[in-house]
Amino acid sequence: MENLLLKIKNRSARISIIGLGYVGLPLTMEFYKSGFTVIGIDVDKGKVESLKKGESYVQDVKNEDIINSIKNGKFIPSTDFSLLKEADTVSICVPTPLRKTRDPDISYIVSAASEIKKYLHKGQLIVLESTTYPGTTDEVLLPNLESGGLKVGVDFYLAFSPERVDPGNKRYNTKNTPKIIGGVTSECTLVAKYLYEQSIDVVIPVSSTKCAEMVKLLENTYRAVNIGLVNEIAIMCDRLGINVWEVIDAAATKPFGFMPFYPGPGLGGHCIPIDPLYLSWKLKTLNYTARFIELASEINTSMPLYVVSKVSDALNEKKKSINGSSILLLGVTYKRNINDLRESPALDIIKLLKNKGAEISFHDPYVASIHEADGVKKVELNEQVLHIADCVVVVTDHSNFDYPWIVKHSKLIVDTRNATKGIKVGREKIVKL
């Protein structure tokens, strides 16, 4: 262990990262900036080629950092896993999606592990960062890595450290977001903590890999359940004839014991809709039903249908039906001011409206086309397009939309994000969740 600690201290340790996406690439740059040489491995040749051309495809990573690190020989992007034989540490930052059956898909972790095993050698540190269910490191990764005869905590070190990357967040980044580390043994925790604290401001050890895996799932389940709660509160307020947005803003004046969440068209992104289902799946294998997670998922996934019912009621007030109406969606990404469509509720809303015979178009400054929704075209946003639409639906409240101008030139608006807050017009023109 001492030898590895010394190599980390004098920066002769060769770091490797598997998976150069929105987690792995920023982490690569942090290790580089703190003086390490980093081998970055990705199965996607296109990513590796872009990096070699000095082009970053991750919004929080600058081209110049890529160019400088490669020019100085301190960052080696490659698709070749055999480079792992030179690596002293390996951080695994691969995707952990859901299968079509909504069960966890840890196949990317398993294939990374089988590559690592080929080149595993004494003194190496392996850290899994991909979000997964508690037990993955101990029950899947560890047996795989020890099957070659090396002993964890003695010959090599293994830990879990949840990623906490929030793409586009201008305040929190990889370096200044506290990092949790849980090792298989105390030596594993010590070595992993020592490595990460060379590049990350605050590193917090916990007692096990399972604890570290669970920390991440608590963080994101907390969000999914609270978003589910506030979506149900919105439905209740609608039945009660109460403005849910006013209720939340008023509740948010409480300086303690309350954190505002806001209703919306549904739960998008690659974390919040997915991570809690990793936890509920694991508990099912232990004959336990994670009721909050399942209920929140049920409510959140019902929100697109709820939005379409609001559109239907709003058109009905104008003696129109969805069938044959022209409907313009404003914003289709899963949350404001980013270009990510993954799991976006807009995709569900489009499907539901299409099935009811609507003529749909969209405008989103961050999106050129929606390949998941053929026939739904992007239109330029102008007075005529707004006026032609029988209903305009604000699905994603990008900051660069001119909401007063949109309201002025629209006949009818369904606002799922309270984006038109403060604009004084009659209820017959703006309908909110």
Catalytic residues: 271
Question: Helix or strand or coil: residue 116?
Answer: helix
The DSSP H or E segment spanning 329 is strand 326-330
- 97 backbone dihedrals φ, ψ, rounded to 5°: -80, -170
Q: Are 43 and 90 contacting, i.e. CB atoms less than 8 angstroms apart?
A: no
Is residue 274 part of the contact set for ligand SAJ (CB under 6 A)?
Answer: no
Closer to ligand SAJ at the Cβ: 205 or 264?
264
Which C-beta is closer to ligand SAJ: that of 119 or that of 262?
262
- Which residue, 163 or 390, has its beta carbon nearer to ligand SAJ? 163
| Count of residues near ligand SAJ by CB under 6 A | 18
Q: Counting Cβ atoms within 10 Å, is residue 427 exposed (0-12), middle (13-18) or buried (19+)? A: exposed
Q: Does 60 bind ligand SAJ (CB under 6 A)?
A: no
Q: Chain-centre distance of CA 404, in angstroms? A: 31
Nearest residue to 341 (alpha-carbon basis) of 309, 373, 311: 373
Nearer to ligand SAJ, 57 or 119 (CB): 57
- 271 lies in the binding site for ligand SAJ (CB under 6 A): yes
Please report how close the Cβ of residue 341 comes to ligand SAJ at its closest, in angstroms: 11
Site string for ligand SAJ, 17-46 (x = CB under 6 A): ------------------------------
DSSP 8-class letter at 82: G
Q: Indicate which single residue of 119, 194, 262, 366 sits in contact with ligand SAJ (rule: CB under 6 A).
A: 262
The answer to whether the CB of 184 falls within 8 A of the CB of 158 is yes
Tell me the C-alpha distance between 215 and 146, whole Å. Answer: 26
- Name the DSSP letter for residue 332: -
Among 60, 105, 115, 166, which residue interacts with ligand SAJ (rule: CB under 6 A)? 166
Task: Among 219, 249, 294, 359, indicate the residue that binds ligand SAJ (CB under 6 A).
Answer: 219
DSSP three-state, residue 283: helix
Phi, psi of 76 (to 5 degrees): -115, 95
Which of 66, 125, 180, 267 contacts ligand SAJ by CB under 6 A?
267
Q: Is 234 in the site for ligand SAJ (CB under 6 A)?
A: no
Torsion, Cα of 316, 320, 322, 327 (10° steps): -110
Report the distance separating Cα 127 and Cα 132, nearest Å: 13
* Site stretch for ligand SAJ (CB under 6 A), options 200-208, 215-223, 351-359, 362-370: 215-223
268 touches ligand SAJ by CB under 6 A? yes
Binding of ligand SAJ by 432 (CB under 6 A): no
Which pair of tokens denotes residue 150?
Answer: 């090396």
Contact pattern for ligand SAJ over residues 290 through 329, marking x by CB under 6 A: ----------------------------------------
- Work out whether 334 is an interface residue with ligand SAJ (CB under 6 A): yes
Under the binding rule (CB under 6 A), the answer on residue 210 touching ligand SAJ is no
C-alpha 52/C-alpha 71 separation (Å) is: 10
Q: Does 366 bind ligand SAJ (CB under 6 A)?
A: no
Q: Should residue 223 be labelled a site residue for ligand SAJ when binding is judged by CB under 6 A?
A: yes
47 binds ligand SAJ (CB under 6 A): no
Listed in sequence order, the residues at least 6 apart from 409 whose beta carbon sits closer than 8 Å to its beta carbon are 383, 386, 387
Q: Based on CB atoms, which residue is closest to ligand SAJ, 165 or 358?
A: 165
User: Could you list the residues that contact ligand SAJ (CB under 6 A)?
Assistant: 163-166, 219-220, 223, 227, 261-262, 264, 267-269, 271-272, 334-335
